[in-house]
């Protein structure tokens, strides 16, 4: 991606150089631009061999969750973003916002772009963003909410199923940690998770296990619950469950028979 500041306008271009750095995945049906964006500390953090990295994947409509994740997890994060056709242009505007407003929090992150081989990234000549229109006063959700309606009527993204497995595997390949946890785009770790999991993985019994998988329980909380008020530890979670503000993941969608 080439960012240019011409007459104070954000110009987005998918250049031949960008295309040459992609590689095919999944029987050549998709292409991935690995490490399209990397935080300032990515190389050092990757070399430090952090015990656990987070892997996540999403499309344009979930990009605002990246900011919440950056507030909850200071370690390595590898993100794959689906950018079929003109979604590339709109995603690029959001990445500009991230770099402008949240770059320090994303220092240990890498972001990879994935698109169908038949629908490569496109720019939208009719969509022009003055740099002054992207403000750090905007909330991430408000910005995503203003970008999604700009998809053209012919936008291919709505007609293509989200390639969950491809996206997960691309993000995994960009994370060098010995342990990874895969999160859906709208999942967040609790505030103390980073410290807790680092201590857990340093136990001698854990380090002695070459092929181990550890199950992380997942819970749902009400949409719109402020991040700072959400459960920060097991005690908070039990209280939230007791008050009916949390329940196991998919509890309502897939209740017990």
Q: How far apart are CA 251 and CA 220, in angstroms?
A: 8
Answer whether residue 247 shows pLDDT above 80. yes
Write b or e for each residue in 167-187: b if 16 or more Cβ atoms lie within 10 A of its Cβ, otherwise e.
bbbbbeebbbbebbbebebeb
Q: What is the pLDDT of residue 125?
A: 67
Residue 193 lies in a domain: no
Confidence of residue 86 (pLDDT cuts 50, 70, 90): confident
One domain, residues 125 and 41:
yes
pLDDT in tens, 190-199: 878 888 888 8
One domain, residues 132 and 250:
no
One domain, residues 243 and 155:
no
Mean pLDDT of 11-17: 54
Q: How many structural domains is the chain composed of?
A: 2
More confident residue, 210 or 7: 210
Domain boundary among the residues 184, 204, 235 is at: 184
- Tell me the C-alpha to C-alpha distance, in Å, between residue 89 and each of 37, 41, 58, 119: 15, 26, 15, 13
- pTM (2 decimals)? 0.83
Domain boundary among the residues 128, 161, 184 is at: 184
The pair of three-digit structure tokens given for residue 16, joined into one six-digit string: 């031949």
Q: How far apart are CA 22 and CA 60, in angstroms?
A: 20
Answer whether residue 154 shows pLDDT above 80. no
Q: How far apart are CA 53 and CA 63, in angstroms?
A: 19
One domain, residues 177 and 223:
no
Domain range for 7: 2-184
Confidence of residue 26 (pLDDT cuts 50, 70, 90): low
Confidence of residue 157 (pLDDT cuts 50, 70, 90): confident
Residue 206 lies in a domain: no
One DSSP character per residue, 199-239 reads: HHHTSHHHHT-SS-------EE--TT--GGGS--SHHHHHH
Answer whether residue 6 shows pLDDT above 70. no
Domain boundary among the residues 184, 207, 242 is at: 184
Instruction: Using the structure block, give the residue that is written with the tokens 């935080």.
Output: 39
CB atoms within 10 A of CB 241: 15
């Amino acid at each position: 991606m080439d960012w240019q500041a011409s007459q104070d306008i954000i110009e987005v271009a998918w250049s031949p150089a960008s295309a040459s750095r992609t590689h095919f995945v999944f029987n050549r049906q998709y292409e991935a631009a690995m490490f399209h964006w990397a935080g300032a500390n990515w190389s050092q953090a990757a070399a430090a061999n952090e015990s656990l990295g987070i892997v996540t994947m999403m499309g344009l409509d979930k990009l605002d969750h990246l900011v919440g994740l950056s507030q909850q997890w200071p370690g390595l994060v590898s993100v794959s973003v689906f950018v079929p056709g003109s979604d590339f242009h709109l995603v690029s505007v959001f990445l500009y916002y991230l770099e402008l407003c949240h770059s320090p929090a994303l220092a240990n992150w890498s972001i990879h772009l994935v698109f169908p081989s038949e629908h490569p990234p496109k720019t939208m000549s009719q969509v022009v963003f003055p740099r002054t229109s992207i403000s750090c006063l905007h909330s991430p959700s408000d910005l995503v909410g203003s970008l999604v309606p700009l998809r053209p009527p012919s936008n291919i993204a709505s007609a293509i199923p989200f390639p969950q497995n491809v996206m997960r595997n691309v993000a995994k390949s960009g994370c060098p940690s010995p342990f990874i946890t895969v999160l859906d785009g709208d999942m967040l770790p609790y505030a103390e998770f980073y410290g807790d999991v680092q201590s857990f993985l340093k136990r001698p019994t854990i380090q002695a296990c070459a092929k181990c998988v550890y199950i992380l329980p997942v819970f749902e909380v009400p949409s719109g619950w402020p991040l700072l008020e959400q459960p920060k530890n097991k005690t908070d979670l039990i209280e939230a469950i007791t008050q009916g503000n949390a329940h196991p993941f998919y509890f309502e969608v897939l209740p017990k028979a």
